[in-house]
Amino acid sequence: MSIAIVCSGGDAPGMNPALKRFVDYMFFNNRKPYFIYNGLEGLIDNNIKPATHKDVSGILYRGGAIIGSSRSKRWPGKKYREIGYENLKKRGIDSIIVLGGDGSFRGLDLFCKEFDVKFVGIPATIDNDIAGTEYCLGVDTALNVIRDAIDKIRDTASTFKRGFVVEVMGRECGYLCATSAIACGAELCLIPEVDLDLNLAQKILSKQIEEGRNYVLCFVAEGTGKSDYMVKWIEEKLGIETRKSVLGYIQRGGNPTVFERLMAFEFVVKAIDLLIREGEYNKVVCYNKGEFSTKSIDDVVNNKYIISQHILDMLNYIG
């Protein structure tokens, strides 16, 4: 069995450690590893090469993915999937491991139902919004990047007695925003999953300001679209000059944390073992309650990720 690995969709810290462990563990099992470069576009364009130890030497500390990634606009066309299959068949590759999100899993699931190819998915997205798993590759590093940025923003906020509205990534899922707000001691947090009672927030923070509070940190998930609104709200309702800071793509980069690297190793080993030892495929490797398991692709893509109630409850204590 020859196995190829591909990164699809947005990049996430932890992809490079996963690629290194993929190569090392494949050779350990006397199997030939392949890299598919530039995501599913590379599969269509025949950008598939054998992977070596040299390719992955010294990449553990790097963010992003050395093999690139993409969001392919051609993949939905069956003729392009047929081209991808022929490119795999020429090399004797019968299995693919994909690092990505549920959109990537759907694309590979369709591909493997059409052709004689097996796949295993590894959740990799800083949004942490894949159903069936508590943790996705990239999340720990992204949280630490946000924490580092907020620690610096707080210095300016407290010095100039200002409010800061910090926009955090997360279109439909507020996990990054909520977890960061709790960890960084924010006074306000707006996420898609919860309606913030601004009248109550105004009452609480106005009292704190009377008692000496001189700055306010407000976290906003980008999916709410309320960053500018909250800048105006803090200035008008709390009387504090306020600035907006959009963290943007810095959240997707940076050196993978120790935890991220270890998780990447475990995810990949489980994925390879599924294919070569257990004979299971069209599954997603998941992590819940400290243990790795697998779920069917249907269980993952047909359900919606829900932030744990424990995290949502903790938001009641900020401010």
Sheet architecture: strand order including 216-221: 188-190, 216-221, 163-168, 242-246
Which residue(s) pair with 49 in the sheet?
35
Tell me what the mean pLDDT of segment 7-30 comes to: 96
Cα separation, 315 vs 319, in Å, equals: 9
Q: At what angle do helices 139-160 and 258-276 cross, to 10 degrees?
A: 160
Residues whose CB is less than 8 angstroms from the CB of residue 212 and which lie 6 or more positions away in sequence, other chains included: none
Q: What confidence tens digit (pLDDT) does each residue in 251-270 have? A: 999 999 999 999 999 999 99
Active site residue 55: no
Q: Which residue has the higher pLDDT, 188 or 171?
A: 188
Residue position matching structure tokens 């601004």: 198
C-beta of residue 220 within 8 angstroms of C-beta of residue 192: no
Reply yes or no on whether the pLDDT at 319 is more than 80: no
Tell me what the mean pLDDT of segment 286-302 comes to: 93
- pLDDT for residue 177: 96
Residue position matching structure tokens 């998941």: 286
Tell me what the mean pLDDT of segment 279-305 comes to: 93
Cα separation, 226 vs 167, in Å, equals: 9
Kindly provide the b/e burial profile for residues 26-44, where b requires at least 16 CB atoms within 10 angstroms of the residue's own CB.
beeeeeebbbbbbbbbbbb
140's tokens: 């720990």
Distances (CA, A) of 264 to 17, 124, 138, 256: 6, 9, 9, 10
Distances (CA, A) of 186 to 115, 183, 234, 239, 317: 50, 8, 14, 18, 10
Nearest C-alpha neighbor of 19 from the set 94, 98, 102: 98
C-beta of residue 252 within 8 angstroms of C-beta of residue 142: yes
Q: What confidence tens digit (pLDDT) does each residue in 122-143 have? A: 999 999 999 999 999 999 999 9
Nearest C-alpha neighbor of 305 from the set 199, 170, 173: 173
How long is the chain?
A: 319
- pLDDT for residue 279: 87
Distances (CA, A) of 272 to 103, 121, 238, 310: 21, 11, 55, 33
* Active-site option among 102, 127, 129, 140: 127
Tell me what the mean pLDDT of segment 11-26 comes to: 97
C-beta of residue 294 within 8 angstroms of C-beta of residue 282: no
Task: Quickly list H helices, 29-174.
Answer: 39-44, 78-91, 102-114, 139-160
Complete domains list, the chain, with CATH: 2-138+256-303 (3.40.50.450), 140-252 (3.40.50.460)
Cα separation, 261 vs 257, in Å, equals: 6
Cα separation, 21 vs 25, in Å, equals: 6
Backbone angles phi, psi at 193, to 5 degrees: -80, -15
% of the chain at pLDDT higher than 90: 92
C-beta of residue 319 within 8 angstroms of C-beta of residue 201: yes
Q: What confidence tens digit (pLDDT) does each residue in 191-221 have? A: 999 989 999 999 999 999 999 999 999 999 9
